[in-house]
Structure 1
Amino acid sequence: EPLQATLFDYLKDREEVELNEKEESPLDDLAVKAGDTVYFHHEEYKVREISKNEITGRNDLWLDPVRQGNHQIPIVAFTDNEDLLKHISLKRPNFIVGDEVKYKDKDYTITRFDDMGNNLKTVTVKDNTEYLGGMITGSDVIPYRLEGDLERIFENLTYQNPEKTTEEIEIKKAEAHNFKIKEETLPDKLSPSERLNNNLEAISMLNRIERGERDLDITAQEVLARYVGWGGLADVFDEEKGGQWKEARSFLKENLSQAEYEAARESTLTSFYTPKTVIDGVYKTLSDMGFKQGNILEPSMGIGNFIGNIPDEMNKSKFYGVELDSVSGRIGKLLYPESD
């Protein structure tokens, strides 16, 4: 005689299913949880909840604004932890909406940030000085490209980024892993402007990490990995070129040492990184010769694309890289901290 399920049995089974689903939920492994403080589009928020969107199949991060006057309640859609950290920041940016800053020897308040596309952004600041009894206040819209540009434009009167000790910086670097190049945008497929912007963003990221202002994580490594050197970008160093080239020239002079700047200028005819198709061909030849693992020396490594493209079956090999160019070598160390 078949057993007849009772209501108690049904509820017990349902509870076990829900418990298993909860235990297997990938949301438990995220870098944030409800109540945490995060930063999104240069605004401070508290995480209200994280939920699975049954319609899109993605996850939703619900945020509540912290700043009085911010009435935006963003919902950030993401697939996994890595994707989430591309949209939000766990660390406070050096400048957020509401910060009081000194600009051109006057006090202003940051009121908004905007992304104009093509790597051009703007920040709007309101003059704290009131005119005609408060009926008139001035404001400026200031263009910029890199987050590091803001540090040269403003002095933040609200927030000072805490200095990290050398030991703390080294610990963070030690926690990082070798970067794996998943797919490549070949430099010859990019316009000179795109390659230029990638280089500037990588140098800015390099300096921020070395100063302890930014942790070395996968997002930072993705920015660093887009550095392509100065081959074919001679216009940057032509003092007669204006526009974006003049802006880039000023950035490099402020962010590179004199020796590094001269080395970059001299490398415009020689600094071309090995494309992925060639790297894959070299590894295929090694594989055909029976090589599985061992010591690999890269005597002119650039930023280390050979390390980042190593096949999985050879990833137990020990890599040794040599690079004369200071910027490329330092980027390579951050991309591949597990190599020598």
Structure 2
Amino acid sequence: FNRKQKLRDNIEAIRTAFILDRENRTATTEERAILQRYCGFGGLKCILNPAKELTDAVRWAKSDLELFAPTVELHRLIRENSKDETEYKRFVDSLKASVLTAFYTPKEITDTIADVLADYSVRPARMLEPSAGVGVFVDSMLRHSPNADVMAFEKDLLTGTILRHLYPDQKMRTCGFEKIERP
């Protein structure tokens, strides 16, 4: 797990999602590839550290110092793309809350599950994903059931934004599963 590369991938995915929001359009093939490299911030506790000014670096552990500049860039990117300070704080609080809970199932596992279900002729017409991340389960299931009706939930605001751009034709909700609406 290369923390610096994962942080860079996440920053580029967030930047791409903000551009897509601003331009109100769907992702190109290249942009989808950037969005798919997003892995969330589980394991990147560096974003919990202060990173507003250069002097904040003195409070960082030596082992995390190489992540200081990208973390500053992350905060700058979010701040520049937030409507106001309240929205910026919501984005950052959401990211910080996900540091201990975000876990992304490897694509190899979700592909294997989808392949086994397909081998047994299980091809769901509808799919509910209560904790979608960037949609690896959704992607794996749609390979075998491309016309499935998907409803997915992702609590983290930035991850949910990326998810919506990856699956613009599906029902993606950026809120907790407990907010599911009645059919």
Give the whole-Å Cα distance in 2 for the aligned partners of 1:285 and 1:299: 21
Rg larger in structure: 1
Q: Partner residue of 1:274?
A: 105
The match for 2:36 is 225
The residue correspondences of 1:92-103 to structure 2 (distance < 5 A) are none
Q: Provide the secondary structure at the position in 1 that maps to 2:150.
A: strand
* Matches of 1:314 and 1:213, distance apart in 2: 28
SS in 1 for 2:128: strand
Question: CA separation of 1:310/1:192 partners in 2, compared to 1, >3 Å: closer, same or farther?
Answer: same
The Cα shift of 1:202 comes to 0.7
Match of 1:297 in 2: 128
Q: Which runs of 5+ in 1 are unaligned?
A: 1-189
Question: Which structure's residues are more often strand, by fraction?
Answer: 1
2:23 aligns with: 212
2:82 paired residue number: none
Identity of matched residues, %: 26
Contact 2:133 2:154 in 1 (8 A): yes
Q: Compare the two structures and name the one with the higher helix fraction.
A: 2
Does structure 2 conserve the Cα–Cα contact (< 8 Å) formed by 1:252 and 1:261? no
Taking structure 1 as reference, are residues 311 and 326 closer, same or farther at Cα in structure 2, changes over 3 Å only?
closer
Aligned with 1:335 (options 166, 172, 176): 166
SS of the counterpart of 2:18? helix
TM-superposed deviation, 1:267: 1.8
Which residue number corresponds to residue 49 of structure 2? 238
Q: Counterpart in 2 of 1:198?
A: 9
Structure 2: segments with no counterpart, 5+ residues: 51-58, 79-87, 172-183
1:252 partner amino acid: L
Partners of 1:199 and 1:228 within 8 A in 2: yes
Q: Write the letter of the residue equivalent to 1:264.
A: L
Q: Deviations over 1:74-132 (max 9, x none)?
A: xxxxxxxxxxxxxxxxxxxxxxxxxxxxxxxxxxxxxxxxxxxxxxxxxxxxxxxxxxx
Task: Map 1:132-281; keep pairs closer than 5 Å.
Answer: 190-212=1-23, 216-239=27-50, 240-241=59-60, 243-256=65-78, 257-281=88-112
Cα RMSD over matched residues? 2.2
Residues 326, 311 of structure 1: CA spacing in aligned structure 2 closer, same or farther, 3 A cutoff? closer
Quote the Cα distance in structure 2 between the aligned partners of 1:236 and 1:210.
23
Following superposition, the deviation at residue 244 of structure 1 comes to 4.1
Which residue number corresponds to residue 313 of structure 1? 144
Letter in 1 for 2:161: R
Query: How many matched pairs?
Result: 151
TM-score normalized by the length of structure 2: 0.73
- Give secondary structure in 2 for the equivalent of 1:271: coil
